């Protein structure tokens, strides 16, 4: 089986692993991104972790054919470096693709994390078979990718643009972009933490699954605002399916059902009751899976 090493570099944590051409995760691990560290230090840390995994799976039956790197931010046209992200400034303009190719002597595909996540859903996840797919990832930030007719939509920064910077609450939380009440600012990890009494998002999700009313309420409010944002995005991208991924998607229906209800309350007649909204089944690993998949087979 053909394999690819992969890393999904987020603003807080970096997911690392080995993925097969069928989308199956063979090995996985997580390290802190340490955004204040020098870029070479982060690459070295990722490479060290990934090299151990590659050594463990490489044999005559399994061919490691490339490295896929997903990063939170806009890319240059040549996919050599990340050029914009207020949450990950230490990597701005650093030659990420070359750095990994030098360390592994393998082809490296560098991709926007939201695109990688969308590809994972389209090829192996809840977005399979969709002619028009919108996928959002909820974490430290909120990213979005779009696939239309089997092709990634590349508009700004080699992706669909900052789709989460539509305003859903005019007097809402300040956003890193300088505006207030953006979808990203209202449904990211920090927003959920505030609604849940300053607890960590995963603690809120865990408590909600055990029936804690305050935690359920925090997720429901996050879902309500998410649904409002999706209703605003639908006339732009006309999705057949919408998939919600990222770390917060592990809340499942506790987040998605309020989002569906809010979506139907706010969206126009053209989309009401006609768009499937689902939670990713990758438990936050979709960016890594998509990065690996693109290293093995391009979607462009």
Which tens digits make up the pLDDT trace of 153-169? 999 999 999 999 999 99
- Nearest CA to 267 out of 223, 293, 298, 233 is that of 233
Mean pLDDT, rounded, for 202-224: 98
Q: Is 62 left (phi over 0), alpha (psi -120 to 50) or beta?
A: beta
- Encoding tokens for residue 271? 């989309």
Distance CA 237, CA 83 (A): 25
Q: What is the 3-state secondary structure (H, E, C) of 116-136?
A: HHHHHHHHHCCCCCCCEEEEE
Distance CA 191, CA 198 (A): 9
Is residue 118 a contact partner of residue 111, using CB atoms and an 8 Å limit? no
- For residues 147-161, one letter each, b for 16 or more C-beta atoms within 10 angstroms of the residue's C-beta and e for the rest, the string is bbeeebbbeebbbbb
Domains, the chain, ordered by start: 2-116+286-296 (3.30.420.40), 129-279 (3.30.420.40)
CA dist 54 → 68, 127, 286 (Å): 13, 29, 20
What pLDDT sits at residue 60? 55
Q: Which residue is listed with tokens 């790197």?
A: 69
- Nearest CA to 50 out of 4, 13, 87 is that of 4
Distance CA 144, CA 136 (A): 4
pLDDT > 70 in the chain, percent: 98
pLDDT single digits (tens) 114-146: 999 999 999 999 999 899 999 999 999 999 999
Is residue 40 a contact partner of residue 52, using CB atoms and an 8 Å limit? no
The per-residue pLDDT of the chain, averaged, comes to 95
Tell me: pLDDT of 294 over 60. yes
Which residues fall within 8 angstroms of residue 123, CB to CB, at 6 or more apart?
23, 290, 293
What pLDDT sits at residue 299? 84
Q: pLDDT category, 44, cuts 50, 70, 90?
A: very high
What pLDDT sits at residue 126? 98
| Phi/psi at 265 (5° precision) | -70, -30
Q: Which residue is listed with tokens 């603690």?
A: 203
Distance CA 287, CA 289 (A): 5
CA dihedral 124, 129, 135, 139 (to 10 degrees): -20
Helix, strand or coil, per DSSP, at residue 69: strand
What pLDDT sits at residue 86? 84
End-to-end CA distance of the chain: 23
Tell me: pLDDT of 35 over 60. no
Q: pLDDT category, 151, cuts 50, 70, 90?
A: very high
Mean pLDDT, rounded, for 16-42: 91
Tell me: pLDDT of 36 over 70. no
Is residue 192 a contact partner of residue 219, using CB atoms and an 8 Å limit? yes
pLDDT > 90 in the chain, percent: 91
pLDDT single digits (tens) 46-101: 999 999 999 888 665 678 899 999 999 999 999 999 999 888 899 999 999 999 99
Q: pLDDT category, 202, cuts 50, 70, 90?
A: very high
DSSP 265-281: HHS-TTTTTTSEEEE-S
């Amino acid at each position: 089986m053909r394999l690819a090493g992969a890393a999904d570099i987020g603003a807080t944590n970096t997911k690392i692993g080995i993925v097969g051409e069928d989308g199956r995760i063979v090995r996985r691990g997580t390290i802190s991104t340490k955004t204040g560290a020098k870029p070479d230090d982060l690459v070295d840390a990722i490479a060290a972790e990934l090299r151990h995994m590659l050594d463990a799976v490489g044999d005559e039956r399994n061919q490691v054919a490339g490295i896929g790197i997903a990063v939170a931010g806009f890319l240059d046209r040549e996919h050599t470096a990340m050029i914009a992200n207020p949450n990950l400034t230490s990597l701005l303009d650093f030659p990420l693709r070359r750095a990994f190719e030098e360390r592994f002597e393998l082809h490296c595909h560098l991709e926007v994390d939201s695109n990688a996540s969308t590809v994972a859903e389209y090829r192996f996840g809840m977005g399979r078979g969709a002619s028009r797919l919108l996928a959002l990832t909820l974490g430290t930030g909120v990213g979005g990718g779009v696939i239309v007719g089997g092709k990634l939509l590349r508009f700004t920064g080699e992706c669909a643009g900052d789709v989460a910077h539509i305003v859903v609450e005019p007097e809402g939380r300040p956003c890193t972009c300088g505006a207030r009440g953006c979808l990203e600012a209202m449904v990211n990890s920090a927003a959920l933490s505030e609604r849940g009494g300053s607890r960590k998002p995963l603690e809120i999700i865990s408590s909600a699954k055990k029936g804690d009313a305050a935690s359920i309420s925090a997720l429901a409010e996050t879902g309500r605002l998410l649904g409002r944002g999706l209703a605003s995005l639908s006339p732009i991208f006309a999705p057949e399916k919408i998939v919600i991924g990222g770390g917060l998607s592990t809340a499942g229906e506790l987040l998605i059902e309020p989002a569906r209800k809010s979506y139907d309350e706010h969206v126009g007649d053209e989309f009401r009751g006609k768009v499937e909204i689902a939670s990713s089944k990758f438990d936050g690993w979709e960016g890594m899976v998509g990065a690996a998949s693109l290293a093995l087979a391009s979607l462009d």
